[in-house]
A and B are shown apart, each in its own frame.
Chain A
Amino acid sequence: NAGVMQNPRHLVRRRGQEARLRCSPMKGHSHVYWYRQLPEEGLKFMVYLQKENIIDESGMPKERFSAEFPKEGPSILRIQQVVRGDSAAYFCASSPGQLMNTEAFFGQGTRLTVV
């Protein structure tokens, strides 16, 4: 049983380009959470999705960021018109139910560098 798969592991984008980060949850998991990690701030919640639904996007910046979790395929975190401040490690986690506290597993992360 493969773990949570994120790709790419490293992504370099120029300012103004789009970044697409993909997350395939563990088999049997239908809940996905995206987090951003900055060195001085720790893990910050961005968005929580179930298949085809955004449940909680209270941590998402209002502009340029969007997320989806389609019926088929991985969850996608999209960042449009990237800026230097978007450089960070982006992690997704998945869980079988609505209990991220005790049942969630994290992926290895995507490290985004904006140049």
Chain B
Amino acid sequence: QKEVEQDPGPLSVPEGAIVSLNCTYSNSAFQYFMWYRQYSRKGPELLMYTYSSGNKEDGRFTAQVDKSSKYISLFIRDSQPSDSATYLCAMSEEGSYIPTFGRGTSLIVHP
């Protein structure tokens, strides 16, 4: 079993839809949870990060962490074609400087 599991997709949605992206993990010591966005042929860029449990909102993006279920989510409201990209989750333990990445979910938002 991989430490971080993420469905590669692709996930195809119409413009304006609410998108839910998810990751599961097995390491209960993970404390930092990050979401990266990667456009085709580009490097990943950090979207949001959360420490420990709870929710965090930034504009159209909401990150949720459920440590009891070892499950994290990224919600995108009012999705736009410009949101089409691969979304990678990443997580790390307290004191660790190297996050473990999921393989990414490809999202396609069609007009």
**A and B: real partners?**
yes
Q: Residues of A at under 8 Å CB distance from B?
A: 4, 6, 33, 35, 40-45, 48, 56, 91, 93, 98-102, 104-109, 111
How many Å from the CB of A91 to the closest CB on chain B?
5
CB-based contact A42/B99 at 8 Å: no
New A-B contacts (15) at CB < 8 Å, excluding given A56-B97, A101-B34, A107-B43? A41-B103, A42-B102, A42-B103, A44-B101, A48-B97, A56-B98, A91-B44, A100-B97, A101-B90, A101-B97, A105-B45, A106-B44, A108-B43, A109-B42, A111-B41
Q: Report the separation of the CA atoms of residues A75 and B89 in the bound assembly, to the nearest whole angstrom.
A: 26
CB-based contact B42/A108 at 8 Å: yes
Q: Does B49 contact A (CB under 8 A)?
A: yes
Within 8 A of A (CB), among B44-70: 44-46, 49
Q: For A109, what are the chain B residues with a Cβ–Cβ distance below 8 Å?
A: 41-43
Q: Which residue of B lies closest to A109 (CB)?
A: B43
Report B1-29 CB contacts with A as 1/0, cut-off 8 Å. 00000100000000000000000000000
Chain B contributes a number of interface residues (CB within 8 A of A) equal to 21
Q: Residues of B at under 8 Å CB distance from A?
A: 6, 32, 34, 41-46, 49, 88, 90, 92, 97-104
Q: Report the separation of the CA atoms of residues A93 and B46 in the bound assembly, to the nearest whole angstrom.
A: 11
CB-based contact A101/B103 at 8 Å: no
CB-based contact B43/A4 at 8 Å: yes
Q: For B88, what are the chain A residues with a Cβ–Cβ distance below 8 Å?
A: 42-43
Q: For A91, what are the chain B residues with a Cβ–Cβ distance below 8 Å?
A: 43-44
Q: For B42, what are the chain A residues with a Cβ–Cβ distance below 8 Å?
A: 108-109
CB-based contact B43/A45 at 8 Å: no
* Top-5 shortest CB links A-B: A42-B103, A106-B43, A43-B101, A101-B32, A106-B44
Given A33-B98, A56-B98, A98-B97: A43 and B44 interface contact (C-beta under 8 Å): yes
